[in-house]
Amino acid sequence: AQTVTQSQPEMSVQEAETVTLSCTYDTSESNYYLFWYKQPPSRQMILVIRQEAYKQQNATENRFSVNFQKAAKSFSLKISDSQLGDTAMYFCAFMKHELTGGGNKLTFGTGTQLKVEL
């Protein structure tokens, strides 16, 4: 079974600064996907960024980027130029590759509450 660990329950950052959220995972799979989802106060979860394990290049989406360390089973999210709208709960998630029965089953971490302050 896969596990996803987010060891930072809460974090805060000043507007325009950079913040990094940590995530580690445990799996015996070699092919899988990793995700960061954002849950704002409206509660609706939104996909922020996605990484395929077989790709060595770290994914980037505008101000959001990841540091994927496969050997260390680490997948951190960096938010640059933080904005007030980034205030949300951030969830790290794991999914096995569909060819190895991953289907659509996402395993989520417990989340990190990020607060962006003026």
Partner 1 sequence: DAGVIQSPRHEVTEMGQEVTLRCKPISGHDYLFWYRQTMMRGLELLIYFNNNVPIDDSGMPEDRFSAKMPNASFSTLKIQPSEPRDSAVYFCASRMGTTVVGELFFGEGSRLTVL
Binding site for partner 1 (CB under 8 A): 33, 35, 42-47, 50, 91, 93, 95, 98, 103-106, 108-111
Contact 11, 89 (CB under 8 A): no
The 3-state DSSP class for residue 29 equals: coil
Q: How far is the CB of 30 from partner 1 (least distance, A)?
A: 16
Tell me how far, at minimum, the Cβ of 16 lies from partner 1, in Å: 29
Residue 17 Cβ vs partner 1, minimum distance, rounded to whole Å: 27
* Lookup: tokens for 10: 């809460």
Distance CA 88, CA 102 (A): 28
* Complex with partner 1: residue 43 or 72, whichever CB lies closer: 43
